[in-house]
Structure 1
């Protein structure tokens, strides 16, 4: 326990004198007198991550407020934490500038000028940050845009040499380098110094400077995911290699603490320099006192990481290093409480009195009640009001209409209405554009692969649901959630089957003889990697078989697909370049890399069609193999949507239990 914060008056006077002397020494470039061993201080390291430009608690796809997300509510938690802890540092872990309609508006529809600060950074500057790093989605809009909006001149092809208006805090990134000169495109590290309050062993309060070094990392696979925008312009190293390269430089500045800001999660598979989630290995590099994590859109500490080797998923330690990952979309604040004690003339972390924690903006909802969420900070909305209204007007641009409900509520169970327009638009584009550069491929059948991006991961409102009626750009953005570009790959029947086998890992293996309920969905396989392929193809998924052996009855226009049968598959740049680790998809099979965004291609296709009816959308191309089970096969979904399933032809789905928080348990009848 620390001594009381209200020390005697005489001690305060001495403390003030000491602080003045320390400040004077620092100003003169002299080292202050050493603090006595046994001095203590509590420091809270606060983290935001994966905000994805969700500044306000607002759903641009449904055009309504959403109190369960939004940076404006995270700010409320930040201010609360600052009142609780007099000594705080605030850092951002990346995936900040992309991911919402507002972000696309400022990047694509009406790009901000050099003299304009991006809305998310304007909001963050109102709170005051001490530093941050870049996530993988920072690169989605290209290096020119990234250079501009971060205020970072970059010596790269397409980068800006001049400094534009960017965030008023340092961004560090150590593992991405210019292909021109081999230098990091951001500063790899920096040192932030703040005055903190500490207590001497006799209980006296004193203010002293604390030097915190920060070093940043992004996922190495950005070269695959944004290959078209980055290839030949930058190189990337592994996070461990970058840490070993730059930590000695940082340590030469004699920081009191080193905080690693990694846009990545935890993975204990054997390390490679291409590892997407290298946090477990980064924690093993000597010299790191605290680790900030992100990218995985989950919480650490938390049950998702229970049982991982050398990880304390309750107190928030990774290989002995205090760590935190604060959720996504502004739903949470990450916090590491570091208890510092002075030993041998330096600050060290008292790990027994330190921990990481995730503070949510909403408490779990009681049955039948709305979520209990903190109020938004009133300072944020006025800062972005103008661009918020402009983004709403932008997404309300009409493009057509539909008589079909386009929904992803049961995309995992066979309702492809939300995917059929994407697949139709992608295939149409490839059929028109591919012969211009590859006339020899003009006669090869074109298929299309798409995954439902919104399948409930973010809660009961995280689904696509476009009602019959007018269609706007908002609906196109809802159907195609990410700003991917379109790509097409050349493959064969064996490759298509391997693609579908990988997708089918979305499901658990079902034992027909088991009487207890069995979960349909594999929680470790994300929904956006469940590709569903259309274009005259039909296939069956047999859930009784092990992963990798589930695709049966694979046909093209009613005839069995042969292993050597050639196909072109329209997809997105993420998948074509290796995203999701699909067999044969590593960038080498790409025959068309379009500069056009998949979302824009979809919007143009809808605009050309004008009216979407059942005849414009290909029916579902797959089904589960008939299966009689002793016990129920169950899955979680949005409550009260059984009629949606029935209307889509999924008559074997029934709701079992309404959880009272907007979600429900359903059963699916797989019997013949």
Structure 2
């Protein structure tokens, strides 16, 4: 009986200690939480205004000036946000044709697209395959006008030897943004946001004359597996991938394995993927290969925002700080259109942003004159 009496108090003491320890651990684990909204534009193809220059009339269905109004709304809805572009911004419209045929960049420092984009305070961007269509000199002169950084991790200088260990990146492979955000309690929180960029290797085939003997594009998944741990070691709390490649590999690509968003989503340590290239939207409820309504691929939040500025891509992350580490607790991806179709008629959902319209007013008139005299 004495032995039993001794054991019972010991059990009670241990139980009380465990309760105290659990309460202490809970305080240490849950340090803070915040909401972060990540915004994406992609495949703008230099469509800055909603205007068809060859028909000389407005178009309600596209243009960054319209997307800018959605960006403004999205920022007003959430206190913490970041904005990125995922490539194919320079080439593919009447504006591009005007810039190319008039040798516009010979006399101007700024490419017209950056007159518009700089006013939206992008945090970073990556290049698309069409950025290389006019050659490397044109690309670099154009990008000098961007007041935000460009990153790409899988384009390398071709040193024409067989040893990969000494290969040099053509762009900065990644960056780490130091940002101050407001948590759910109204307190400031410092967050180190890693941003890394990728391009489909098929670009080296499509613009072979500019790549051959100068640049090479490596496997996306392999490159990510190399750089993501480095970014983590350098202090990145979360990592966002900007991928100018489709959910599936390009059809004409020789090496398909590892070269798609699906393969990229398998890389441990990536917290969100913004992608483009194929002019589709994601999440899309009828996409047979991805059924998650929150918009994840292999559990990684992802978004693709169509083309020409017809949609804004949004990923909302719920972040929790536990034991000093920020973790993605939940997410929701969505795309917002600039127009809707009712009974076969396109109707605008937003107006063009006045600031972008004003900053492009002169170039808009010049492009109109150019096509009028070209008839």
TM-score by length of 1: 0.49
Q: Which of 356, 378, 384 is the equivalent residue of 2:360?
A: 384
Are the aligned partners of 1:37 and 1:345 in contact in 2 as well (CA < 8 Å)?
no
Matches within 5 A, 1:271-420: 273=255, 278-305=260-287, 307-308=288-289, 311-312=290-291, 314-351=293-330, 354-363=331-340, 365-367=341-343, 369-398=345-374
Q: Deviations over 1:171-219 (max 9, x none)?
A: 00011111248311110000112110013xxxx3201111110000011
Are the aligned partners of 1:195 and 1:209 in contact in 2 as well (CA < 8 Å)?
yes
Q: Which runs of 5+ in 2 are unaligned?
A: 1-26, 160-165
Whether 1:214 and 2:199 are equivalent positions in the alignment is no
Q: Which runs of 5+ in 1 are unaligned?
A: 1-33, 152-165, 399-471, 473-672
> Which of 1 and 2 has greater Rg?
1
Determine the C-alpha separation between the residues in 1 that align with 2:107 and 2:168. Answer: 24
Q: How far is 1:133 from its partner?
A: 0.2
Are the aligned partners of 2:31 and 2:323 in contact in 1 as well (CA < 8 Å)?
no
Q: How far is 1:304 from its partner?
A: 5.0
Q: How far is 1:385 from its partner?
A: 1.6
The aligned counterpart of 1:554 is none
The aligned counterpart of 1:263 is 244
Are the aligned partners of 2:250 and 2:256 in contact in 1 as well (CA < 8 Å)?
no
After superposition, the CA RMSD in angstroms is 2.2
Are the aligned partners of 2:126 and 2:198 in contact in 1 as well (CA < 8 Å)?
yes
The aligned counterpart of 2:77 is 84
Matches within 5 A, 1:524-543: none
Q: Which of 121, 137, 150 is the equivalent residue of 1:171?
A: 150
The aligned counterpart of 2:24 is none
Matches within 5 A, 1:628-643: none
Are the aligned partners of 1:326 and 1:333 in contact in 2 as well (CA < 8 Å)?
yes
Determine the C-alpha separation between the residues in 2 that align with 1:269 and 1:74. Answer: 27
The aligned counterpart of 1:130 is 123
Determine the C-alpha separation between the residues in 2 that align with 1:269 and 1:96. Answer: 20
The aligned counterpart of 1:609 is none
Determine the C-alpha separation between the residues in 1 that align with 2:120 and 2:92. Answer: 21
The aligned counterpart of 2:16 is none
Q: How far is 1:368 from its partner?
A: 6.2
Q: Which of 152, 174, 181 is the equivalent residue of 1:189?
A: 174
The aligned counterpart of 1:21 is none
Determine the C-alpha separation between the residues in 2 that align with 1:142 and 1:98. Answer: 12
How many aligned positions are there? 342
The aligned counterpart of 1:248 is 229
The aligned counterpart of 1:52 is 45
User: Cα gap change, 1:334/1:211 in structure 2, threshold over 3 Å: closer, same or farther?
Assistant: same
Q: Deviations over 1:422-457 (max 9, x none)?
A: xxxxxxxxxxxxxxxxxxxxxxxxxxxxxxxxxxxx
User: Cα gap change, 1:237/1:49 in structure 2, threshold over 3 Å: closer, same or farther?
Assistant: same
Q: How far is 1:314 from its partner?
A: 2.7
Whether 1:150 and 2:143 are equivalent positions in the alignment is yes
User: Cα gap change, 1:258/1:359 in structure 2, threshold over 3 Å: closer, same or farther?
Assistant: same
Determine the C-alpha separation between the residues in 2 that align with 1:378 and 1:276. Answer: 42
Q: How far is 1:114 from its partner?
A: 7.4
User: Cα gap change, 1:392/1:191 in structure 2, threshold over 3 Å: closer, same or farther?
Assistant: same
SS in 2 for 1:379: helix
Q: How far is 1:264 from its partner?
A: 1.1
Are the aligned partners of 1:173 and 1:218 in contact in 2 as well (CA < 8 Å)?
yes
Q: Deviations over 1:506-541 (max 9, x none)?
A: xxxxxxxxxxxxxxxxxxxxxxxxxxxxxxxxxxxx
Are the aligned partners of 1:219 and 1:275 in contact in 2 as well (CA < 8 Å)?
no
Determine the C-alpha separation between the residues in 2 that align with 1:59 and 1:35. Answer: 58
Q: How far is 1:80 from its partner?
A: 0.3
SS in 2 for 1:246: helix
Whether 1:139 and 2:95 are equivalent positions in the alignment is no
SS in 2 for 1:125: helix
* RCO comparison, higher one (Cα < 8 Å, 6+): 2
Q: Which of 201, 205, 224 is the equivalent residue of 1:224?
A: 205
Are the aligned partners of 1:107 and 1:145 in contact in 2 as well (CA < 8 Å)?
no
Determine the C-alpha separation between the residues in 1 that align with 2:147 and 2:257. Answer: 31
